[in-house]
Chains A and B, each alone.
Chain A
Amino acid sequence: MTARIGVITFPGTLDDIDAARAVRSVDAEPVALWHADADLRGVDAVIVPGGFSYGDYLRAGAIARFAPVMTEVVRAARRGMPVLGICNGFQILCESGLLPGALVRNAGLHFVCRDQWLRVENNETVWTTRYDAGAEILVPLKNMEGRYVADPATLDELEGEGRVVFRYLVDGDASQRYLGIDSPNGALNHIAGIADARGRVVGLMPHPEHAIDALTGPSDDGLGMFLSVLDALVAA
């Protein structure tokens, strides 16, 4: 069986091509999904890629959330379909209520674009089973609104249930310290990515789809996410 993984394109999406390439690189079939179509074309999982959907007007992800395709994604996610939101995709999943919290302007006010070390905190979501718990991976990070925030009760819930999936590794990171920030963007608890309660919807700011081979990325550490979901889909 070949798993069919949908990749959504909104006006302003940038990383749909790389996301489709990552899907292809694990021998799954990428299926292009269009923002204006209320149709998931029978896919087994969905990736909401990065970029600047609808120009980030109003708030990042605020308008994309109302796209016809997102109504179907929310419905499918509630039934348990694996969904991955990367960067702007993470922002869209938060705006649509599939994941708690929000992403706001980086504390340092700079667009951050660099290769970033992360720690895999949860290797039991459908998107992270291929990683060892505590694995340290290197993937690109590039955004303006990357600072994860949530109210204290939500943070406690995420931490208590092990739903923080990725954390920025900040040991020795002096790049933003002059601004009084000890992480790339000031995210609460250094959170880079989280999961829903069932571990089937995952969102993260860094870009695993840009780290699938050493020729075009800093590592192939991102491949594990696409291999993980493939394992889950083939086993299902």
Chain B
Amino acid sequence: MARVVVDVMPKQEILDPQGQAVARALPRLGFDGVTSVRQGKHFELEVDDDVDDATLAKIAETFLANPVIEDWVVRRVDA
């Protein structure tokens, strides 16, 4: 078994109102100095050893992310 992490983020040119709302809330909570927040998704997958990188990329591109609006990164991590 291997652990795989897929991070999905809204593309830079896509307005991210959720991230903006988080950024605007921080000063009200007394946290200064955070100039920008973008909010995305983080997936943790447990996969069999014979699942190759091409398959993982396909999972990310066709399902976990919508390439019209989101960028994605797949990485294998040590369990």
> A residues near B, CB below 8 A?
58-59, 62, 66, 94-95, 100-102, 104-109, 147, 149-151, 186
Could you say which residues of chain A place their CB within 8 Å of the CB of B63?
A: 58, 62, 66
> B residues near A, CB below 8 A?
10, 14-15, 17-18, 21, 63-64, 66, 68-69
Could you say which residues of chain B place their CB within 8 Å of the CB of A95?
A: 66
Q: Is the CB of A102 within 8 A of B15?
A: no
Top 8 A-B residue pairs of the complex, sorted by shortest distance between their CB atoms:
A102-B68, A102-B69, A109-B17, A107-B17, A102-B66, A104-B69, A59-B66, A109-B21
User: Which residue on B lies nearest to A107, using beta carbons?
Assistant: B17
B50 to chain A, nearest CB (A): 23
Could you say which residues of chain A place their CB within 8 Å of the CB of B15?
A: 107, 147, 186
Q: Is the CB of B17 within 8 A of A150?
A: no
Q: Is the CB of B68 within 8 A of A151?
A: yes
Most buried by A among B10, B14, B66: B66
B47 to chain A, nearest CB (A): 18
User: Which residue on B lies nearest to A181, using beta carbons?
Assistant: B17
A21 to chain B, nearest CB (A): 32
A100 to chain B, nearest CB (A): 8
Task: State in angstroms the CA–CA spacing of A59 and B43 once bound together.
Answer: 14
Could you say which residues of chain A place their CB within 8 Å of the CB of B66?
A: 59, 62, 95, 102
Given contacts A95-B66, A107-B15, 9 further A-B contacts (CB under 8 A): A62-B66, A101-B68, A102-B68, A104-B14, A105-B18, A108-B17, A109-B17, A149-B14, A186-B15
19 sampled A-B residue pairs with Cβ under 8 A: A58-B63, A58-B64, A59-B66, A66-B63, A95-B66, A100-B68, A101-B68, A102-B68, A102-B69, A105-B18, A107-B17, A108-B17, A109-B17, A109-B21, A149-B14, A149-B68, A149-B69, A150-B68, A151-B68
